[in-house]
Structure 1
Amino acid sequence: MIKFTHLHVHSEYSLLDGLSKISQIIQRTKKFGQKAVALTDHGNMYGAIDFYKKAIKENIKPIIGCEVYVAKKSRFIKEKSDSNHLVLLAKNHQGYQNLMKLTTLAHTEGFYYKPRVDKELLEKYHQGIIATTACQASRVNQLIIGDNPKSAKKELQELEQIFGSGNLYIELQRHHFDQYSKNDQVPKEIKGKLLEIHANELKAEKQLIDFSRELGIPLIATNDAHYIEKEDARAQDAIVCVQTGKLTSEINRLRFIDTPDFYLKSPQEMEQKFQDLPEAITNTGKIADQVDIKISLGQWCFPEIDFPKGKTAKETLKEMAYQGAKKKFTKITKEIKKRIDYELDIIDKKGYSAYFLLFADLVNYCNTAGIYTNTRGSAAGSFVSYCCGITTVDPLRFNLPFERFLNPFRPSPPDIDLDVSDDRRDEVFTYLKDKYGHEKFAQICTFGTMKAKAAIRDIGRVLGMPYSEVDRVAKLVPLGSQGFPMTISRALEITPELSQVEKDDPKIKDLLDLSKKVEGNTRHISVHACALVISPEVLTNFTPLQFEPGGDKKIITQYEMHACEDVGLIKLDVLGIRNLSILANAIKLVKILHKKEIDIHQIPLDDPKTFEMLCNGETFGIFQLASTGMTKYLMELKPEKIDDIMAMVALYRPGPMSFIPEYIKRKHNPKLVKYFDSRMEEFLGTSYGIITYQDDVLYIAIKLAGYTWKEVDKFRKAIGKKIPEEMKKQHAKFVDGCVKGGMTKERAEDLFSQIETFAAYGFNKCVTGDTSVWVN
């Protein structure tokens, strides 16, 4: 039997209250040799899937829970301070499902300052759940402290009736507030409060133990952990000040720093603390032994798609693809048939036929409703998408690889990004809700984190430091590169001035040390700019839900996009783009003023007037091309074909931008065109021998270093994300492959260095192709 298990643990997802990262909780548990641990964040399940996955990976049993707020009366009665704490732990899959429903309803029906459930909801969704009486903020504790033991006893009896015998535990916490009150650093005004809290804790504990013996409700010991190490107490206190808008120096505020006891203690510390109540320790292990949660991950759950009677998704998609091809091409060549059949085979084997049909239907609705769209991203590499009307770029014409979109060897799902007129996006959402069910649709949440500069500014503010001083330090932190946010530690390594300031000024060192502890922590939840999910069943079977913060009644998931995908939900990206609305309005005006109908899908890609306009620098209001720098380069380039615009969109970003002058020279003087290796002409011919797109890097690895599409995906991720260990492996593999292909080792090293420099900023050719065709 497991002996002691932490059953009351908060992570960073107890927003600006918990400090611990989930990975830290798991590693600490593993370090102690414990076999299980719980996650019980305040009123939400934001971290549940990340917690589950990381625990399972380390062979730790995950106990998914939540410290809920319970309304004293009904969740529909809005009264301030009308809630108390209760810890709920999912015992099995049914309990996990019920926990998702409870946290959803707490947000969507019971929210008043806090997300609140009530006893009606607990009664309805109690199955598979173990309840514990939480901290001093629980109803039972408050009634005892308020000298009302009869009502406290009644409350316990009601809870036991709701959850059933054996599913309710009385929770004890011992934080020794009296001992900490003796600390000389504790302000005099606080010492009395600590002694009062300690007296209340003792009073409640004595009565709770009596109730346990009288009612037969077992005891458990917890520590209400909010951070990992005792030394983290000051950082946790600081983020509470960020939340409440207070200074750490203030006396009359919510203070944790005076009692640095809310950390993830070792089993030995807990056993020592409760040596007079060994059953309170062993009962935590008994709960852990009871828990058996199995969450199905990585199995896609598509919404129900309408097929013609008697047809499958596979057959319907094949028919749609070939019908579309016949409309787009005068003749179905062997090349076209081979590409369609190749893609359809992969799409079917990976089980994504329904996904393509869903998107085809959505784009068709937008076209029918007159909503302007543009499909971005690697989906432009799919010829099936092109034939089905999902995308507008011919991947055969632009040599766009299907494998960049849907790699046969990669488990991740296809990702189609649909841009729509921003003033009509709500119509698209309404269509999806009406078609698939309002209870099956939600936008996905996203979490804002305290990145380096923000962490310094937040901590500097709560420390009461002058704004100018904090701002000066924050500005010394350089910007990170795309996909690689700068960290304070890294900034200290590469910025001599920042490092010197830290050495010279103890206050700045303290600011940076404290900022490092909160850096990267979750700060707030919001709605993702474009991601949404549609499920085959009610969404609360997959993810808990809530309203978007800020008073809007927009439903969002509590799981971020990776967790949504983990539990099987298919993500759709629908982004509102202002330029599409402008384009739609411009076309309406042309019709009114000039009596002329314009079909943007029929505009030729070699329209001379368009290129003349760009050559003259007339770019005002043109998406991606309107900046002063881009306009200057376009006038120098004098584009004559769509490939030139694509290249400019790809190159005009940090890193590759330095190649633009050379690109322009080579365009105007073909004699300057050269290739690092003659084999590159096949795929770098249209960009005059310059590595321009992410796709170029993939082709180099395949054609010159002998990679397969399965291997090249790892190569792309390693160099793009700069994963040190993987980079080392890929470096050796790439150089070795090039040498085997006839290149000298020195040249191979040089080529890898070029790719490494380019990779952090390189742009997908499919994205630039879609964008450029749309611009044209």
Structure 2
Amino acid sequence: MANFVHLHNHTQYSLLDGLSKIPELVKITKALGMNAVAITDHGVMYGAIEFYKACVEAGIKPIIGVEMYVAKRSHKDKEGKLDSEPFHLTVLAKNYQGYLNLMKLTTIAHCAGYYYRPRVDKALLAKYHEGLIALSGCPSGEFIRSFDFPQGNSPTVYKDLKKAEEVVKSYLGIFGAGNFYLELQRHPYEQSLELVVDEVVKKDLLELSNIQKQTLQAVKEISSKLNVPIVATNDCHYTKKEDADAQDALLCVQTGKFLAETKRLRMIDTPDYFLKSPEQMSEEFADLPEALENTQKIADQINIEIPLGVAHFPVFDTPVGKSSMEYLRELTYQKAKGKIDLTEKEKERLEYELGVIEQKNYADYFLVVADFMEWAHERGIITNTRGSAAASMVLYCLGVTNLNPLHYRLPFERFLTIYRPTLPDIDADIADDRRDEVISYVIEKYGEGKVAHIVTYGTMMGRAAIRDVGRVMGLSYGEVDRIAKLVPPPYQGFHKPLATSIKEVPELTILYKNNPQIKKLLDLASKVEGTVRHASVHAAGVVIAPEDITNFAPLQKESKGDKLVSQYDMFSLVDEYGGIGLVKMDLLGIRNLAILGKAVQFVKQNRGIEVDLNKIPLDDKKAFETLAKGETMGVFQLEGSGMTKYVTELKPASIFDIQAMVALYRPGPMSVIPEYIARRQDPKKVKFFDPRMKEYTEASRGLLVYQDDVLLTAINIAGYSWEEADKFRKAMGKKNPAEMAKQKGKFIEGCIKNGMRRQKAEELFGMIAPFAAYGFNKAHAASYAMIAYQTAYMKASYPVEFMAAVMTAESGDTDKIAAAIEECKRLGIVVLPPDVNKSRVGFTLEELKQLSKEELERQLTDVSVPKQINKLRQGIRFGLSAVKNVGEGAIESILLARKDGEFTSLVDLTSRVDNRLVNRKTLESLIKAGALDHLGSRAAQLLILDQVIEESHKANKNRLSGQVSLFEAEEDKGSMVIKLPDVAELPLEQLLVFEKDLLGFYLHEPPYLASLEKLTRFVSVKLSELGEQHFGKSLKLGGVIVSVKKVLTKKTASEMAFLKISDGVTAVEVVVFPKTYEECKDILNPDSVVLISGRVEKREEDLSLIVEKIGLFDPESMIEEIFESSQMVEISIPAGTDVTVLQNINKTLRGFPGKFPVDLLLPNGSGELRRLKLPFTIDPQTALEERIKEIIGDGAFKIV
């Protein structure tokens, strides 16, 4: 048996055309006794570093290659079919120089040669040929395609090989003798013919078989004539033979085909694209043993060593004569003067940190970050940091972070110690509307070729794998969706393998055992589970290199845009994960920071006040009152029904309370929240497990809230060093039983050694072990608490400006704009519609006193608002960009014309703007949206619109020819040449329809509002109160239909629908399967209020409702039904309700005697509900419900 090495292998990084996972590929290669293996994915190097590391660890030689696409002409030619079907070429890196050239070629292919595929050309191959070995490629290679075979089934006859010879000579000229091989692949087409029934497939296989035979003869002849060796490969796409069906399914996912189709790219008919053993390859190439031996010869020539795990810092340009460290020290103390008092304690902290930074040689890193953050601040861009960076006093002084770590008791060691082997993350949050500005600055400063975004991969996890496979199998959407939802959702980011779910979920187990079709679905889904489905751009990551990035990593462009993206993901790039060592900067766009920035800008424009968010008081009474009242819409981290509920119960009194809530409101620690609230309300309940823990848990009222609490407990009580404590945290997080047992023993013995009884030490370990896994970083919580407080402060102090900022930041999301309008109404803020004389592009603030009383009454969005006018003198005016069909050019033209004075009529407007930009559709949309209401009724303006446009065109022609236009004003003529007809305005219902169509939502009271307000008493729970506790339960829910998306099922082409319904606060997805849809499709229209019986499910990270029954909501006809089916009334009493309020409720209830028992639901100190049955019965009339609503708020009264 000859030695053999696989030189043509596709992994999962040949997106949806490869199933092989790198660890398994390497493991099987070693098990089969081969000493080397190659990776040759289609046009990319995504997996190169992962592959290299896996091979080195396994003790086999890594061969890094790419199956390249070679353009038929220049890689710059991009026309039609000729350039869309490039040749394939297998290219391998022989040494490190070859690896560098492979990265260069791959980068050019993506960034300059992309046309359907990333393409190079022969000129590029010649330029970057050094250190490369090329194989002629698969049957799609230029060499094989150049054979001039005759038509018919002759297996050995060919007309002429001159063209093929020229192709080989061209590649020999590029790569040189000894570096170019004729690649030969063999597949058992004839054996497969015996197993195939379908005649179409048989015909294709027969043709492939004949081509393969013809190819063999031709390759042998050319090899002999030109003295070019033949090399044997197998086109591997999966590692095990039994995975052929899964590879075929992947291809169908990629191409949108079904498994049952015959006219498609198929690999299942010849199921041998797997990692064959040397013995199997020897059998198949028994007549060409030299072709096998050449694989080993090639492998022996190859030797690549890639330096990993060493950080390559971008070099910061310091003042002449100063080292990076000297400049960092100088800059830190210089900027510290405006931030801290430089007390002895603060100086000691700074010197300690600077000493560690110097020892680690990280000065350039700190300077780079400080520089772009300072650049952002100088331009009014709001920033923040995530993670542990806020624990650094140096970063605080430099202005990178926004809080003093000593004040928040944040240990620097959580961020960096001299023992930490890798670079610490300084993760920056940037206002999302200005993030690109910061990145552009970084690119400009360090050079375009030195800065890139980072690739990330979307994978087919359990549920997604079932859905993808179910589709290509042709199964119905409803059936597949039901099975997918049986798979448990990820917990804390961890997905449970499908194989485990099949064993642990009884219904899945039964289906798997008893239904062959479902078994096939789950088996295929299990095989493709975890496979990369697509590549995208990391939300935050950017790398900066000290030189051209292509010396470290290959690049590509984002799919829609020009951003350069590294083909290596963060695990291949960053030294922390053993990557190539480029420095990663996390620059994440955060919407709430954009809101803060815009709010600060509005305050300056409106009031002349410059708000410095870093200098606002941290004990503002109005800010905390805003939170206590649950006014959290727009408040960072604290909005949402679940969090708002806890915040109103907590009534935070300090930023430390906010910090704790940010950390606790997540799966796992959420169970601690009631105890935290109880201790906040009653300080006597505060206790410490050990007196030594008081120092670092006092602010969190004696409770373990942060990961830092675990670390400090391990250090102070169990005697760990910081390095040991961090290893303890990571070990607990990985949940490895053996490692956890080891750590438990060490921890308990350490506690005993430091004076604690064994029993108590074991109890302490039981307390902290879970927190080590899911606890929140304290510095991260502190940073986010600061932004939460700043948003609450701005909302409380400058409500109009803040809400205008919210609406500006969310202008692309109609649901959020609608929610913001509702919040404005609740706060008494006037929201004014778009107006051609008042509006600009986006949302603006407007002085209400400038409006006449009549105009104000006409434009107000809520009749209840006028009472608030004296208190709030500004309103928020919608911009013209909010109106559909009104583009940027039209708005520019309107604003330019308005500089000469406000428009006095539709005629005046039309005569002064550019009619090519402000066309008929634009004018009609502006009229219907109410932007011309002050110029006359919409009905009248729509009637004369065509006449006005016609006269406008005439006027333009006359103006060009020198004649006087009808529109030109003269002293003795009136300016209104075309008079508005005296017609009645359109009905209110029609105006509201226009508003919804043109703005995407209702500015004024929607027609369904009255029905929506009555829904509460008919539903099991409000949409805004749905949570994990409702998963799997059948409930009665209701809301207004916001949108309807009709689809056809794949298998039967039956109609079904996805709805979005809202209760005015929260929107939820609703799934209506075909049978139910057929029964109710006529009533499924936007703005219809519906009552639904259905099952609550979790779809990925969102809730959805599977409809069992749905109907239009009619409170009048349903009231008797609900009375008949209901048994009692429940009234939910908010936490902290005063006794006088309870007495008022009691008195009110007694005023409506009837037959219904009534229970009060009262929260106790720990947040749990206590039921109090009242000693009388009532009549639950609408009037009573309204009275209770006035006393304690909406949603408290419920008939059950």
Same fold (TM over 0.5): yes
725, 737, 756: which one aligns with 2:750: 737
What's the counterpart of residue 973 of structure 2? none
Q: Does 1:165 align with 2:177?
A: yes
Q: Does 1:103 align with 2:106?
A: yes
User: Which is higher, the Rg of structure 1 or of structure 2?
Assistant: 2
Kindly indicate whether the alpha-carbon contact (under 8 Å) linking 1:2 and 1:288 is maintained by their aligned counterparts in 2. Answer: no
After TM superposition, give the deviation of residue 742 of structure 1 in Å.
Answer: 3.4
User: What is the letter of the counterpart of residue 681 of structure 1?
Assistant: K
**Where do residues 175-324 of structure 1 align in structure 2 (5 Å cutoff)?**
175-183=187-195, 185-324=196-335
639, 648, 663: which one aligns with 1:650: 663
What's the counterpart of residue 72 of structure 2? 72
What do the CA deviations read for 1:720-765 (whole angstroms, capped 9, x no partner)? 2323443332233223323333334443333333333334432111
What do the CA deviations read for 1:669-712 (whole angstroms, capped 9, x no partner)? 12211222332212111111111111111112222222211112
After TM superposition, give the deviation of residue 434 of structure 1 in Å.
Answer: 0.9
After TM superposition, give the deviation of residue 393 of structure 1 in Å.
Answer: 1.3
Q: Does 1:556 align with 2:565?
A: yes
After TM superposition, give the deviation of residue 145 of structure 1 in Å.
Answer: 5.6
CA distance in 2, matches of 1:646, 1:186: 67
Q: Does 1:499 align with 2:477?
A: no
After TM superposition, give the deviation of residue 94 of structure 1 in Å.
Answer: 0.6
Kindly indicate whether the alpha-carbon contact (under 8 Å) linking 2:2 and 2:278 is maintained by their aligned counterparts in 1. Answer: no
TM-score normalised by length of structure 1: 0.97
Kindly indicate whether the alpha-carbon contact (under 8 Å) linking 2:428 and 2:586 is maintained by their aligned counterparts in 1. Answer: yes
CA distance in 1, matches of 2:556, 2:507: 45
423, 446, 453: which one aligns with 1:436: 446
SS at match of 1:526: strand
Select between 85-94 and 347-356 the one with higher mean Cα deviation. 347-356
What's the counterpart of residue 132 of structure 1? 135
CA distance in 2, matches of 1:516, 1:685: 49
SS at match of 2:406: helix
698, 713, 718: which one aligns with 1:700: 713
After TM superposition, give the deviation of residue 109 of structure 1 in Å.
Answer: 1.1
CA distance in 2, matches of 1:488, 1:39: 28
Select between 624-633 and 17-26 the one with higher mean Cα deviation. 624-633
CA distance in 2, matches of 1:24, 1:413: 30
Kindly indicate whether the alpha-carbon contact (under 8 Å) linking 1:408 and 1:710 is maintained by their aligned counterparts in 2. Answer: no
Distance change in 2, residues 1:119/1:498 (3 Å) = same
User: What is the letter of the counterpart of residue 177 of structure 2?
Assistant: S
Q: Does 1:625 align with 2:628?
A: no
What do the CA deviations read for 1:154-202 (whole angstroms, capped 9, x no partner)? 000000000011100111111111111111x552321121121011111
What's the counterpart of residue 363 of structure 1? 373
Kindly indicate whether the alpha-carbon contact (under 8 Å) linking 1:481 and 1:760 is maintained by their aligned counterparts in 2. Answer: no
**Between Structure 1 and Structure 2, which shows a larger proportion of helix residues?**
1
What's the counterpart of residue 376 of structure 1? 386
Select between 321-330 and 386-395 the one with higher mean Cα deviation. 321-330
SS at match of 2:589: strand
What do the CA deviations read for 1:465-500 (whole angstroms, capped 9, x no partner)? 111111111101112222322221232343222223
CA distance in 2, matches of 1:679, 1:145: 86
Distance change in 2, residues 1:491/1:734 (3 Å) = farther
CA distance in 2, matches of 1:666, 1:106: 62
What do the CA deviations read for 1:68-88 (whole angstroms, capped 9, x no partner)? 011111112223243011000
**Where do residues 242-641 of structure 1 align in structure 2 (5 Å cutoff)?**
242-333=253-344, 335-549=345-559, 551-565=560-574, 566-641=579-654
Kindly indicate whether the alpha-carbon contact (under 8 Å) linking 1:46 and 1:559 is maintained by their aligned counterparts in 2. Answer: yes
Select between 482-491 and 442-451 the one with higher mean Cα deviation. 482-491
User: What is the letter of the counterpart of residue 581 of structure 1?
Assistant: A
SS at match of 2:274: coil
What's the counterpart of residue 749 of structure 1? 762
Distance change in 2, residues 1:83/1:634 (3 Å) = same
What's the counterpart of residue 143 of structure 1? 146
159, 164, 168: which one aligns with 1:152: 164
Quote the RMSD (CA, aligned, Å): 1.6
**Where do residues 76-87 of structure 1 align in structure 2 (5 Å cutoff)?**
76-78=76-78, 79-80=80-81, 81-87=84-90
Distance change in 2, residues 1:603/1:654 (3 Å) = same
Distance change in 2, residues 1:138/1:331 (3 Å) = closer
What do the CA deviations read for 1:274-329 (whole angstroms, capped 9, x no partner)? 12111111111111111011111112111221111111111111112222333322
Distance change in 2, residues 1:750/1:502 (3 Å) = farther
CA distance in 2, matches of 1:453, 1:408: 43
Q: Does 1:25 align with 2:25?
A: yes
CA distance in 1, matches of 2:703, 2:402: 26
Unmatched runs of 5 consecutive residues or more in structure 1: none
After TM superposition, give the deviation of residue 581 of structure 1 in Å.
Answer: 1.4
SS at match of 2:365: helix
Select between 491-500 and 40-49 the one with higher mean Cα deviation. 491-500
Identity %, equivalent residues: 53
SS at match of 2:41: coil
What's the counterpart of residue 676 of structure 2? 663
What's the counterpart of residue 97 of structure 2? 94
Kindly indicate whether the alpha-carbon contact (under 8 Å) linking 1:174 and 1:273 is maintained by their aligned counterparts in 2. Answer: yes
The count of corresponding residues between Structure 1 and Structure 2 is 773
After TM superposition, give the deviation of residue 221 of structure 1 in Å.
Answer: 0.7
Q: Which has the higher contact order (CA 8 A, sep 6+)?
A: 1
Kindly indicate whether the alpha-carbon contact (under 8 Å) linking 2:457 and 2:535 is maintained by their aligned counterparts in 1. Answer: yes
After TM superposition, give the deviation of residue 775 of structure 1 in Å.
Answer: 2.1
After TM superposition, give the deviation of residue 103 of structure 1 in Å.
Answer: 0.6
CA distance in 1, matches of 2:587, 2:10: 34
Kindly indicate whether the alpha-carbon contact (under 8 Å) linking 2:387 and 2:780 is maintained by their aligned counterparts in 1. Answer: yes
User: What is the letter of the counterpart of residue 506 of structure 2?
Assistant: P
Distance change in 2, residues 1:620/1:455 (3 Å) = same
User: What is the letter of the counterpart of residue 327 of structure 1?
Assistant: G
User: What is the letter of the counterpart of residue 255 of structure 2?
Assistant: T
TM-score normalised by length of structure 2: 0.63
After TM superposition, give the deviation of residue 579 of structure 1 in Å.
Answer: 1.3
What's the counterpart of residue 761 of structure 1? 774
Unmatched runs of 5 consecutive residues or more in structure 2: 150-158, 790-1200
Distance change in 2, residues 1:502/1:736 (3 Å) = farther
CA distance in 1, matches of 2:445, 2:57: 38
After TM superposition, give the deviation of residue 118 of structure 1 in Å.
Answer: 0.6
What do the CA deviations read for 1:100-141 (whole angstroms, capped 9, x no partner)? 011111111111111111111111111100000111111110
CA distance in 1, matches of 2:510, 2:753: 48
SS at match of 1:553: coil
CA distance in 1, matches of 2:100, 2:265: 34
Distance change in 2, residues 1:215/1:725 (3 Å) = farther
SS at match of 1:263: coil
Select between 699-708 and 133-142 the one with higher mean Cα deviation. 699-708
User: What is the letter of the counterpart of residue 487 of structure 1?
Assistant: P
Kindly indicate whether the alpha-carbon contact (under 8 Å) linking 2:2 and 2:289 is maintained by their aligned counterparts in 1. Answer: no
After TM superposition, give the deviation of residue 2 of structure 1 in Å.
Answer: 9.3
After TM superposition, give the deviation of residue 443 of structure 1 in Å.
Answer: 0.7
